[in-house]
Amino acid sequence: MGILNNWFAVLLVVFGLGFVIFIHELGHFLLAKWNGVKVEKFAIGFDIYNLKLFSRKFGETTYVLGALPLGGYVKMLGEDQTGTSNSGPPISDPRAYPNKPVGARMAIISAGVVMNIIFGMLCFAYIYMRGKLEVPPVIGAVMAGAPAYDCGLQAGDKILAINDRPIQKFSDIQQSIIFNSKGQPLKLSVERSGEPNPLSLTVTPRLKAGGKYQTIGVVPASDLVLAKSSPFLAPAGMQIQGEDVLKSIKGGGTITAAGPVGGALQEMNTRQQLDALFSKSPDVPLEVSVRPPDGSSEKSAKFVLPPVQFMDLGLRLGAGPVMSVQAGSPADRAGLRVGDKITAVDGNADYDPIRLPDLAYSQAVANQPVQLQVERGSNAGTTETLTLNPRPARSWVEGNIGDEPLDVVALGFAMEVGPKVVSVESEGAAARAGIKAGDVLHSVTLNLPDFGPGDDEDTPKSLKFVLDGKPAGQEIAGSYASVFDELQRLPLSPVKIQVAGSEAELILNPTPVTGWFHPQRGLQFVTLTRRLAPQSVPMALKLAWSDTVENASQVYYMIRGLVQRTLSKDSVGGPVKIAKMAYDTARIGQDAYVPFLGMLSINLAVVNFLPIPPLDGGQLLFLICEKVRGRPVPEKYAGPVMIAGLVFILLLFVFVNLNDLMSVFG
């Protein structure tokens, strides 16, 4: 079934991309016919060197399906004698393109763009009429050290507006950030649980080294719907009531209630509620009720989730400097600063930084302060003791990503960990592998799970974090906090570690830590979505027009971002990236694929209307000049401009294709 779905997605891609091009050329064709111009050829794809898949003449027009599927064209009589390329004597035929009034030629040139805009708008309207599936503007996690973290944004916050512009969906947040002017702060209106009025926060997006887009470091919220790799990767000995029910809900089941075993289950409406329960009771069995994907409450199953121990490699890394302090947090109020180094916690200089987040949470539950002895980055050698009153917010719930530092959520700061080994457990995995104090970890490779036959992820893969040095190829820059967090999310499997100065890869088998329990218990969830109610035709068209204007504006914002270097060149896509995006969205379904075609159609329209010969916009520019002057632009001016435009388009085509190939095979 998976293979059939893949081939069906490929067919959808071929048809969809071809149809977007067809719509554009159809606009030129219809307006040419409307204005009495003789159309000699209507081609989808290019028939270079006479390579074509189909060619048939009907009436006066030859219809061609070219072998090179990178565009299309409409060839009109005398089109090459319009004042931009006067080859041969003028054609006297009144049906020749250059013999038509300037207004008619403007309409013909503009028709392709207009058709693409109409088609894109209809794609958006169709989804609104059907009932659009959207990701709400709710924050699921904030990356430690990112701009959103610094400004005080928290998981569970809902963005109501950006710069006083109302926000309806998470993609609105992303677009506002990606296309924001360089260095320009954004004003956020934020709804937060427990706060009677919206909060006003200010954040400035930034482009990370090696990144493609500006970011503030947020990801969308998760739902209570279990992902494919759930239920329950890690817990061994889980008690399940009914194996047949388990099979029916595996991947897609929804947690509806949870609570202590033997007690009343509390109704769960959000991931924040479930996370709060898991955080408060990580060391006791919990019972959850799961509704199957078909929504039948009669078949709901109850599961007992045992506590899940943290997995460790038997080594301790050194505490690095404070990388970020969250605005309004206990750390901020106590005066902790970026660059400070924590030398002792509650008087203990031999503390494990990885355990600090849970220690701080325990102190918050016990209503006790945490004392940090810090060495100021600006005054090495001198220490100061700070007293922090922690908040009851547990780490390891949101997860760490890539090179994200260790987030001590209860205290509201992030710190660097490692990669230098401070000590190893005498009987631990690291000691057995030969790692010793003083070693520096260069890279850690984790094995990703095999999801089994029939799934696109059925080939075992690995995830390699480079902790010391610059990553290359498929490797990613990482922090030990992210490695440690990822270790908890994967099935029990060997880990490969490379120590700096050695080519050997050491094999370590993670082991459970007695008395230390992970709050998430191995569960994985899908992104939170909501389906809007189907809209009436007028309202769907109104919303679709708004989306059309927004998509058209994004082309300008992208050009500005490339000039200001707030967007990486890797954000520019050519045919390969477009085909891949089309394939990915086609596999998801029409809720993703139809809007993608609409977006692509709008982008094609805007790009084609740029004032660059030989694009439609460049030809329209010549016609405007002809209208103003009362005669065509002289060849001595038009020729060089046309050649320059062709060279530019050719160079751009080579650039985007090389960029695509490097992103795929680099």
pLDDT digits (tens, 9 = 90+) for 385-417: 999 999 998 888 887 777 889 999 999 999 999
Mean pLDDT along residues 548-556? 86
93: left (phi over 0), alpha (psi -120 to 50) or beta: beta
Mean model confidence pLDDT for the chain: 85
pLDDT given for residue 296 in this prediction: 62
pLDDT given for residue 250 in this prediction: 56
Evaluate whether 467 touches 402 at the Cβ level (below 8 Å): no
Q: How far is residue 267's CA from residue 247's CA, in Å, rounded to a whole number?
A: 23
Q: Model confidence over 471-511: pLDDT tens digits?
A: 776 778 888 998 898 888 776 778 999 999 888 899 999 98
Extract the runs of DSSP E, i.e. beta strands, from 474-597.
Answer: 476-477, 495-499, 505-508, 511-518, 525-527, 530-531
Least confident of 20-29, 347-356, 625-634: 625-634
pLDDT given for residue 526 in this prediction: 87
Q: How far is residue 287's CA from residue 264's CA, in Å, rounded to a whole number?
A: 10
Length of the chain: 666
pLDDT given for residue 46 in this prediction: 79
DSSP 598: H
Q: Compute φ and ψ for 258, nearest 5 degrees.
A: -160, 155
Count of H helices and E strands in the chain? Answer: 15, 34
pLDDT given for residue 232 in this prediction: 43
Mean pLDDT along residues 407-435? 92
The pair of structure tokens assigned to 436 is 């010793």
pLDDT given for residue 378 in this prediction: 64
Residue 449 reports pLDDT greater than 50: yes
Q: How far is residue 491's CA from residue 236's CA, in Å, rounded to a whole number?
A: 11
Residue 233 reports pLDDT greater than 80: no
| Residues classed as catalytic | 25
pLDDT given for residue 243 in this prediction: 46
pLDDT given for residue 291 in this prediction: 84
Name which of 354, 331, 552, 313 is nearest 441 in CA terms.
Answer: 313
Q: How far is residue 581's CA from residue 136's CA, in Å, rounded to a whole number?
A: 22
Preceding peptide of 231 cis, ω within 30°: yes
DSSP 138: B
pLDDT given for residue 3 in this prediction: 42
Domain 314-509 falls under CATH 3.40.50.2300: no
Mean pLDDT along residues 516-530? 86
pLDDT given for residue 153 in this prediction: 94
Long-range contacts of range 15-21, CB-CB < 8 Å, 24 or more positions apart? 16/582, 16/586, 16/593, 16/597, 17/69, 17/578, 17/579, 17/582, 17/600, 18/44, 18/45, 18/69, 19/597, 20/116, 20/119, 20/597, 20/600, 20/601, 20/604, 21/45, 21/71, 21/72, 21/604
240 vs 181, higher pLDDT: 181
DSSP bridge partners of 371: 387
Q: Compute φ and ψ for 223, nearest 5 degrees.
A: -90, -175
Element (H, E) at 242: none
Q: Model confidence over 28-38: pLDDT tens digits?
A: 999 999 999 99
**Cα-Cα-Cα-Cα dihedral sign, residues 508, 512, 516, 519:** positive
Q: How far is residue 135's CA from residue 218's CA, in Å, rounded to a whole number?
A: 13
Domain ranges of the chain: 81-132+535-666, 223-309, 314-509
pLDDT given for residue 228 in this prediction: 64
Residue 419 reports pLDDT greater than 70: yes
Question: What residues contact 380, with CB distance under 8 A and at least 6 apart?
Answer: none
Residue 200 reports pLDDT greater than 80: yes
Angstrom distances, CA of residue 69 to CA of 7, 51, 357, 575: 18, 11, 55, 10
pLDDT given for residue 191 in this prediction: 95
- Is residue 524 very low, low, confident or very high in pLDDT (cuts 50, 70, 90)? confident
- Is residue 226 very low, low, confident or very high in pLDDT (cuts 50, 70, 90)? confident
- Is residue 238 very low, low, confident or very high in pLDDT (cuts 50, 70, 90)? very low
Q: Which of 435-439, 458-462, 521-525 has the highest mean pLDDT?
A: 435-439
Q: Model confidence over 111-137: pLDDT tens digits?
A: 999 999 999 999 999 999 998 888 999
Q: How far is residue 625's CA from residue 604's CA, in Å, rounded to a whole number?
A: 24
Angstrom distances, CA of residue 46 to CA of 50, 208, 487, 567: 9, 40, 51, 32
Share of the chain above pLDDT 70, in %: 89
Least confident of 186-195, 341-350, 579-588: 579-588
69 vs 406, higher pLDDT: 406
Residue 2 reports pLDDT greater than 50: no
Share of the chain above pLDDT 90, in %: 43
Element (H, E) at 634: none
Mean pLDDT along residues 64-88? 73
